[in-house]
Amino acid sequence: MMTSTNADVTSDVVLRVLSDPLRRRIVALLAREQLCNCHLTEATGAGQTTVSNALRVLREAGMVETEPCGRFTYYRLLPEPLAGLADELSALARSARESPDHKRPC
């Protein structure tokens, strides 16, 4: 059974969470497949405690779900928070493209 701690994630939260290189790397790894802490520790080269702390932040931000599997816990990336941020950034880029010469008069 998958569980999520926060289904309503803002773009500000996603940006804050992704500002850390280790958390960004973990998100990239989880985008491909579900992994447990030991897989993420091996893949990132970070210590187990450091990876656990990064996963806690991702869980609390509502960006990953957990699934117990025997004595391990697997993590799955939730696409919705990233998609929301991507939509917001795309809208900003579109706006910048559409009005590159617009200047507010003094």
- Per residue in 84-105, pLDDT (tens digit) is 999 999 999 999 888 878 778 8
Residue 32 belongs to domain with CATH number: 1.10.10.10
pTM exceeding the 0.85 threshold for the entire prediction: no
Number of compact structural domains in the chain: 1
Residue 67 lies in a domain: yes
Residue 29 lies in a domain: yes
> In 31-104, which ranges are continuous DSSP H helix?
37-44, 48-60, 79-98
**Tokens read off for 10:** 């803002």
Residue 93 lies in a domain: no
Contact present, 81 and 14 (Cβ < 8 Å): yes
Residue 44 lies in a domain: yes
Determine the structural domain holding residue 80 and report its residue range: 11-86
Residue 80 lies in a domain: yes
Residue 1 lies in a domain: no
Residue 91 lies in a domain: no
Q: What pLDDT does residue 4 have?
A: 39
**Mean pLDDT confidence for 72-79:** 97
* Alpha carbons 67 and 86: distance in angstroms, whole number: 26
Residue 6 lies in a domain: no
